[in-house]
Homo-oligomer: A and B are copies of this chain.
Amino acid sequence: MKRVKMVVAYDGTNYCGWQIQPNGITIEEVLNRELSRLLGEEIVVTGASRTDSGVHSLGNVCAFDTNTRMPAEKISYALNQSLPEDIVVQESSEVSLDFHPRFSKSRKTYEYRILNRKFRNPTRRLDTYFYHYPLDVEKMNQAAQYIVGEHDFASFCSSGSQAETTVRTVYSCQVNKDSENDIISIRITGGGFLYNMVRIIAGTLIKIGGSDMSAETMKDIIEAADRAAAGPTAPANGLTMIGLEYEEIQQ
């Protein structure tokens, strides 16, 4: 038996998120089904980031165990033949049996994209959140710097969370605007994120950037440790899981 790690990109528009659930088709379900068909045994993948309905990915990671004699590197090519066009495996490789996509230590990067202009852009409607009021990008970036470091992020955690602690470490958070296409991107890297944390940070930065609240308000919001202090949860379609970097993977 060997353990295979896969990097998976998807357009989340037509899926009810990563994790299998009774009410609709999910990424995990499609991967399990097509891997089981391909390898001729029942395959169950474990995902690193259980992205919500409508959230996209360029580099989510999953792993599964298999008895196949097919080289791990070839699985990505073979699997892509049968996957729908909105799910594409980017890479597959053999890893040691103690690798776990979620529990092995990693740096996770997400990007939240806001289309900030007067009218919608239909060609980017799938992977950006349209917000037409003006936003102060520089102030948003200043506010984002308060997020960096180890903090209690209780203000940025949806109530459904089962996390034991709300303390997390954010390594970087950068807000930039690409003037060519009017897209503001919030790129955030951390050791781990609470449920809806990135979308609540995005919603809070949008609230600060579009009002007369100061950048320093972000400090007070963190210190409040109260979900009611932060801004709304920004819509799922603006969020993309960029990728994970594991500290060490034995191969």
Copies in the complex: 2
Per-residue contact bits, chain A 140-156, to B (CB 8 Å; 1 contact, 0 not): 00000000000000000
Inter-chain contact B119/A89, CB cutoff 8 Å: yes
Inter-chain contact A127/B119, CB cutoff 8 Å: no
Q: Which of B118, B121, B126, B127 contacts A58 (CB 8 A)?
A: B121
Q: Closest B-chain residue to A126, C-beta based?
A: B123
- Please tell me if A76 contacts chain B, counting CB pairs below 8 Å: yes
- Please tell me if A18 contacts chain B, counting CB pairs below 8 Å: no
Could you tell me the distance in whole angstroms from the C-beta of A186 to the nearest C-beta in chain B? Answer: 15
CA distance A119 to B10 in the complex (A): 12
Inter-chain contact B119/A90, CB cutoff 8 Å: yes
Query: Range of interface residues on chain A?
Result: 20 to 34
Per-residue contact bits, chain A 115-143, to B (CB 8 Å; 1 contact, 0 not): 00011111111110000000000000000
Q: Which residues of A contact B (CB under 8 A)?
A: 9-11, 56, 58, 76, 80, 85-91, 118-127, 240
What 9 A-B pairs are tightest by C-beta distance, nearest first?
A11-B122, A88-B120, A86-B122, A90-B119, A11-B123, A123-B127, A56-B123, A88-B122, A10-B122
- Pull 23 A–B residue pairs with CB atoms less than 8 Å apart, ordered by A: A9-B119, A9-B120, A9-B121, A9-B122, A9-B123, A10-B122, A11-B123, A56-B122, A58-B121, A58-B123, A80-B120, A85-B122, A86-B122, A86-B125, A88-B120, A88-B121, A90-B118, A91-B119, A123-B126, A123-B127, A123-B240, A124-B127, A126-B126
